[in-house]
Amino acid sequence: MYDCRDVLLFYARNSGELDQCVLRSVESEIAVTEIYRTPLSLANRLKQSMHDISTLVLTINDEEELDKIETFKTLLMDLPIIIILERMDKQLIKRCLRLRPRLIDGTKNAAIIEKALHSLHYKHMNAQR
């Protein structure tokens, strides 16, 4: 039986090697992983229900993509967020901080991301008990 916050939302415009590595690493630990490829599909999901979401992972490629995500930033306010950047640009990082993420990673190191995911997921599962 799933905990009430067992869903990991994963947004990535394109499916890359890092995406697949991160998803494989959490598949056995997190009951449900939902993958979204467009900002609109992610926004629609967030409008439906947020009580079951343990963590949101955003892979952001550029400022244009961030612009689209920022249009629904009020929906992101109460979610633990991990942001994976394709490039570590100072201005892009500054803008990402407005989303109040728990981690911004540009190293594309799956081990770091996996550790953060597990930490956030279990923190929220324990808070629900």
In a domain, 1, yes or no: no
In a domain, 2, yes or no: no
- Give residue 34's domain range: 7-128
> pTM for the complete prediction?
0.82
Q: How many domains does the chain have?
A: 1
What dihedral angle (degrees, nearest 10) is formed by the CA atoms of 115, 120, 125, 129? Answer: 120
CATH classification of the domain holding 64? 3.40.50.2300
In a domain, 72, yes or no: yes
In a domain, 11, yes or no: yes
Q: What is the pLDDT along the chain (129 residues), one digit of tens a residue?
A: 344 457 888 898 877 776 776 676 666 556 678 989 999 999 999 999 888 888 898 988 899 999 999 999 999 998 999 998 888 889 999 999 999 998 888 776 667 777 787 777 666 555 655
What the block records as the tokens of 106 is: 């540009």
